[in-house]
A and B are shown apart, each in its own frame.
Chain A
Amino acid sequence: MTTQQQATGAPRTPRFYLALAAGKAAAAVLKLARRRGGQVPGTVAEAICPDFLARIPKPERVVFVTGTNGKTTTSNLLDDILIESGLDLVTNRAGGNIITGIESSLIKGSTVSGAPKNSVACMELDELSCRRVLPHMTPDILLAVNLYRDNFTRNANPDYIFSVIDASVPASTHLVLNADDLISCRLAPQAHRRTYFSIDRLPDDLEGPEGIVCDLTACPECGGHLEYDWCHLRHLGHAHCTSCGFTNPEPDYLVTHVDKRALEFTVREVCHARDGKAPEYTYRIGAYSITNLYNLVAALVTARELGIAAEELQRILASGKVNVTAARFSETSAREMRLVNSASKGENSTATSTALATICGEPGRKAVVLMLADYYLATNPKKTEYIGWYYQADFEHLAGEDVKQVVVQGANSDDLLLRLLLAGVDPARIKLAETETDAADLIDLEGIDGVFCAYDIFNGEQADRFRDRVAQRIEQA
Chain B
Amino acid sequence: MARTTIEVLYPEFGNQAGDNGNAMYLRACLPEAEFIETPFGSAPAFSTRDDIDLVLLCGMTERQQERVLDELRPLAGRIASLADAGTPMLFTGNAAELLGRAIVRPDGLEVEALGLFDIVTRQLTPKRFTGVGLGTFTPSPGDNPIDIVGFKMQFTQMEGDNSDVCFCKLRQGFGLNERSSFEGLRRGNLIATWFLGPLLPVNPPFTRWLLDTMGEADAELAYADVALRAYRQRVKDFATPGMDI
- A residues sitting closer than 8 Å to B (CB atoms) are 131, 149, 152-153, 156-160, 164, 212-214, 217-218, 223-225, 349, 381-392, 412, 414-415, 417-419, 421-422
Cα–Cα, bound, A414→B204 (Å): 13
Selected from A217, A225, A418, the residue in CB contact (under 8 A) with B230 is A418
Q: Which residues of B16-71 have CB atoms within 8 Å of chain A's CB atoms? A: 16-21, 24-25, 28, 39-41, 61-64, 67
| A392–B12 CA distance with the chains assembled, in angstroms | 12
The reply to whether A164 and B126 form a contact with Cβ atoms under 8 Å apart is yes
Asked whether, in the complex, the Cβ of A422 is within 8 Å of the Cβ of B28, the reply is yes
Shortest Cβ distance from B16 into chain A, in angstroms? 5
The reply to whether A392 and B15 form a contact with Cβ atoms under 8 Å apart is yes
B62-83 near A? 1/0 per residue, CB < 8 Å? 1110010000000000000000
Contact residues in B for A417 (Cβ distance below 8 Å): 226, 230
Whether A422 pairs with B24 at a CB distance below 8 angstroms is yes
A391 pairs with B197, CB closer than 8 A:
yes
6 smallest beta-carbon distances between A and B, as pairs = A388-B197, A388-B18, A391-B21, A217-B12, A391-B18, A414-B230
**A384 CA / B229 CA spacing, docked (Å):** 16
> What is the distance, in angstroms, from B15's C-beta to the closest C-beta of chain A?
4
Residues on B lying within 8 angstroms of A by beta carbon are 12-13, 15-21, 24-25, 28, 39-41, 61-64, 67, 125-126, 128, 130, 132, 151, 153, 155, 196-198, 201-202, 222-223, 226-227, 229-230, 233-234, 237-238, 240, 242-245
Chain A residue, CB-CB nearest to B40 = A218
Known: A159-B63, A388-B151. A418 touches B13 (CB 8 A): no
Distance between B17 CB and nearest chain A CB, rounded to angstroms: 5
In contact, B130 and A391 (Cβ under 8 angstroms): no
Contact among A349, A383, A392 for B245, CB-based, below 8 A: A383
- How many angstroms from the CA of A15 to the CA of B227 in the assembled complex? 57
Verify A381–B230 contact, CB threshold 8 A: no
Is the beta-carbon distance between B67 and A382 smaller than 8 angstroms?
A: no
Residues B242 and A382 in contact, CB atoms below 8 Å apart: yes
Contact A157 B61 (CB under 8 A): yes
Given contacts A392-B15, A421-B223, contact A212 B62 (CB under 8 A): no
**Beyond A383-B244, A418-B230, 7 extra complex contacts between A and B, CB < 8 Å:** A157-B61, A384-B238, A385-B245, A388-B21, A418-B223, A422-B24, A422-B201
Report A-chain residues with C-beta under 8 Å of the C-beta of B125: 160
Closest Cβ of chain A to B219, distance in Å, is 16
B243 lies within 8 A of A392 (CB)? no
Q: What are the residues of chain A within 8 A of B19 when measuring CB–CB?
A: 388, 391
CA distance A384 to B149 in the complex (A): 12
Give the Cβ gap from B98 to chain A, nearest Cβ, in Å: 16
The distance in angstroms between the C-alpha atoms of A392 and B24, with both chains bound, is 11
A267 to chain B, nearest CB (A): 34
7 contacts between A and B (CB under 8 A): A217-B13, A381-B240, A383-B245, A384-B237, A384-B243, A387-B197, A391-B197
